[in-house]
A and B are shown apart, each in its own frame.
Chain A
Amino acid sequence: MPDLTKTAEETPAQAPVAAAAKPEKARSLGSDAWHDLRRKPIFVISALLILLLIVIAVAPGLFTSVDPRAGDLREHFHTPPNYSHFFEGDWFGYDGQGRSIYARVIYGARASVVVGICVTVGTTILGGIFGMLAGYFGGWIDTIISRVTDIFFGIPLLLGSLVILNAFTSRTIWSVVFALITLGWTQMTRVMRGSVITVKQADFVTAAKALGAGTGRIMFKHILPNAIAPVIVVATISLGGYIALEATLSFLGIGLQDPTISWGIDINSAQKLIRTAPFALFFPAGMLSITVLAFIMLGDAVRDALDPKLR
């Protein structure tokens, strides 16, 4: 969410008009936050994890030499690990098609991470803007935005994604991202709107208005940093949800498809096998959990660092 972060980081010394009383402070909130963050183990761990995920997503070949699509049915649900093949990517066992689960987890990172991050960023930006406008201005702007949100909310996910994705002749990661953003921005709008409605009543907003601050300035420098916390909470949790949703779309035959590999697809084909081959589910689901964990921790840390009220 480049825009939001940017404005949030720029939300500098002026912002704490509310937290008040330190107008002489030279450092900006952004650099302040960075200063804090570097010392937080949670942030460091989560940032490193995310970095690792990004490296895996960009260059999966560095981590395994096994072809994730090559299946050998003699290895059908071969349980892990087979130490004699330890360096051939046999760490996690084999799935129902006899493919190396390790290789699939590595190669699946790209699609999953891209879908998760892009959809989260997209819905946050879209929902953030609409929610901010609706919450701040109220009146007819709020009416229109809220009612359009209601209409979109009424579209069943299955129907919406079928219609949208069927319009694409070739389905790629981007068409899936587009569909999920189109159908997913409404919740974020409501969360943001609710948050803004509360914050805009605060004394510091009135004060800023009285001091003659412009609308844009009030919205971005005063309200946004104080209203962003619930948005970050919902966004970081949603990230995992979107990765799982991509899997649901694949299951319905409208999501990613062969030869694309994703955790979602693998979780989906393995989830009913809890009783027979739990490891086939455990590894891709575990990677999903770790990713979600990393982003939630990062979200928590960043929010704490940015939130003027917690300083």
Chain B
Amino acid sequence: MRGVSQAKWVVAAVAVALAATACSSGGSSDSSGGSSNSAAVDPAGTFSFQSGEPQRPLQPANAMENQGGRIVKQLFMGLVDYDPATGALRNQVADKIETTDAKNYTVTLKSGWTFHDGTPVTAKSFVDSWNWSANPANNQINSDWFSDIAGYDAVHPDKGDPTAKEMTGLKVVDDTHFTIELTAPVSYFTYKLGYSAFYPLPTGFFADPKGYGEKPVGNGPYQFVSWEHNKAITLKAYDKYAGSNKAKNGGIVFRNYTSSEAAYKDLMSDTLDVLDQVDSTDLPKYKDDLGKRAIDQAQGAIQNISFAMYNADWKDPAKAKVRQGLSMAIDRDTITKTVLNNSRQPADAFVAPGVMGYKAGTCGDACKYDPAKAKQLIQEGGGVPGNKITIIYNSDGGHKEWVDAVCNSIRQATGVECLGDPKPDFKTSRDIITKKQVPSMMRTGWVQDYPLNANFLRDVYGTGAAANDAGYSSPEFDKLAHDADAATSVEKTADLYQQAEAVLAKDMPAIPLWYYKTNSGYSNNVQNVKFDSFGNPVYTDVEVKKK
């Protein structure tokens, strides 16, 4: 339930800073070898990663932005996580999660899991954690992630003070069993459980949440060592870790960088080991610079431009043709190849590839460049109101180049005047967007919270959904989404959501532009560096070469 957060903490415009979800993981299968010429590995060796200062305390349900989020994901492990190679759901602390009606779940935990302070991970660790996080008084950004659970309204009421501290839908049976009751069936609830808000917390946490936010104690593959503000956060491998993705290195130093150009320079001189994202400046040359050490792979994130559907200009159903026409006026292939230096892949659907339920080409012809057809459709739909559109975006996110290119493309293909309308920063543009004051169009984006198409559709286009910036509301779409949620299997859910996606292609409340890619690289000191679809490296698999 959260989108492409901005590079708002970073001074220089980073191409993307992606909010990410569960990512700890990796190495379930045997991948120790990698390439044949791999060097001797030092299992105690540590490596550095380009990062930034977390903006919130390191608590599971507070891990919204990327900098803190990716660290929390190394410190904690939930009931389930997603296989970094395939995105498939796999059990971690959970031995099994059973349900017959998608509404009532019984969770069985594995034994042997411990927190870094030595205390065992029990059913109570989860239930207490979730109840604490859902309480608005505890100021957790992701407190509304528990809204599916019965009794949430009493703990987190829309108005007034909470009447309860515990959600009635959560019941501890014994140390290794607990049950979850939802208010309505959600067939993919187990997918949501991989999200960081659902991590367990040790007993000690509740006595001093603030202190634990500075020095977190988790149950993940790494344990906390130190946090030097504005400099670095250091983690070391947890030797009693009980999960399948035990660290193959001694630890990670998340080193703070004020700009990604600076980080890239350090990578070139082997002062930094793993890069987050190559900055736009170095994108054209990074593959030459790094050779085999360059990384270029898909991410579960999409970039859109959305229409202010709440404006009278766009309410007329006939305007759907105009919106499709504008979409066809954008030369996605050329823009991604030139302006974006192949750091994006042209979109052909509203869901990113690699996500369960992704179907190629659901956007149809509307996502293919065809200036003649574009002109014709715009004319048939009665033209663009005022023959002019503006695209609101935040200038601290590195979006200027592609917004200008999209506008150029639209202007030249259709003669419609198109202007980028930069706002100084992310919060300013968000302010305008959430207050629904956008005159015609805005930049929007979405990064998966969990790799399922429902996350890209329901949370972005459902009536009243938190990320429905366009203000789109379609009874047809809502009905299909509702049916999909109530389906008995995740496969059926994904199928039904594909039908809902077809409604979007018809109405075009947003124009899908392209999918994000991870463009990164690593130094000569490390090997076996891979990234997951959240755009984070598989930290546990990184191997540090012997010096």
Which residues on A are within 8 Å of B, measured CB to CB? 69-74, 76-77, 96-98, 162, 166, 251-254, 257-259, 269, 272-273, 275-276
Contact B285 A162 (CB under 8 A): no
Tell whether, in the assembled complex, residue B424 and residue A252 are in contact, meaning their CB atoms are under 8 Å apart. Answer: yes
Can you list 14 A-B pairs with a CB-CB distance of less than 8 A?
A: A71-B404, A72-B412, A73-B331, A73-B408, A74-B334, A76-B338, A77-B338, A97-B339, A252-B395, A257-B421, A257-B422, A275-B281, A275-B282, A276-B284
> A254 touches which one: B404, B412, B424 (CB < 8 A)?
B424
Kindly state whether residue B478 has any CB partner on chain A within 8 Å.
no
* Complex: A170 Cα to B284 Cα, angstroms: 36
State whether A253 touches B424 (Cβ < 8 A): yes
Checking B281, B394, B396, B400 against A273 with a beta-carbon cut-off of 8 angstroms, the contacting residue is B281
Determine the distance from Cα of A251 to Cα of B404 in the docked complex, in whole angstroms: 14
A162–B425 Cα distance when bound, in Å, is: 10
On B, residues with C-beta under 8 Å from A are: 261, 279-282, 284-285, 331, 334-335, 338-339, 394-396, 400-401, 404-405, 407-409, 411-412, 419-425, 428
Q: State the Cβ distance, B261 to closest chain A Cβ, in Å.
A: 7
Report if A269-B405 is in contact (Cβ < 8 Å); known contacts: A253-B423, A254-B424: no
Question: In the complex, which of the residues B279, B280, B395, B407 contacts A253, with contact meaning CB atoms closer than 8 Å?
Answer: B395
A71-B405, A97-B339 known, 12 other contacts, Cβ within 8 Å: A69-B408, A73-B334, A73-B335, A73-B339, A73-B405, A74-B334, A96-B339, A97-B404, A98-B338, A258-B420, A259-B419, A276-B285
Residue of B nearest to A254 (CB): B424
Shortest Cβ distance from A206 into chain B, in angstroms? 53
Tell me which residues across on chain B come within 8 A of A70, comparing CB atoms: 408, 412
Contact A97 B408 (CB under 8 A): yes
Partner of A166, one of B411, B412, B424: B424
Q: Is the interface of A mostly helix, strand, loop or mixed?
A: loop
Distance, CA A275 to CA B282, complexed state (A): 8
Q: Residue on A with the closest CB to B259?
A: A272
Instruction: Report chain A residues within 8 Å CB of B339.
Output: 73, 76, 96-97
Task: Return chain B residues, CB-CB under 8 Å to A69.
Answer: 408, 411
Q: Which of A77, A254, A273 has its CB near the most chain B CB atoms (within 10 A)?
A: A254
- What's the nearest-Cβ distance from chain B to residue A239, in Å? 25
Compute how far the CA of A258 lies from the CA of B422 in the bound complex, rounded to whole angstroms. 9
**In the complex, A7 Cα to B396 Cα: how many Å?**
46
Q: Are A96 and B394 in contact (CB under 8 A)?
A: no
Smallest CB separation, A245 vs chain B (Å): 15
**What is the minimal beta-carbon distance from A149 to any residue of chain B, in angstroms?**
27
Q: Which residues does chain A contribute within 8 Å of B401, judged by CB atoms?
A: 96-97, 269
| A253 close to B394 (CB less than 8 A) | yes
Q: How far is the CA of A257 from the CA of B428 in the complex (A)?
A: 16
Please, how many angstroms separate the alpha-carbon atoms of A256 and B408 in the complex?
18
Are B334 and A275 in touch, CB under 8 angstroms?
A: no
**Contact status A253-B422, CB under 8 Å:** yes
Q: Is the CB of A275 within 8 A of B285?
A: yes
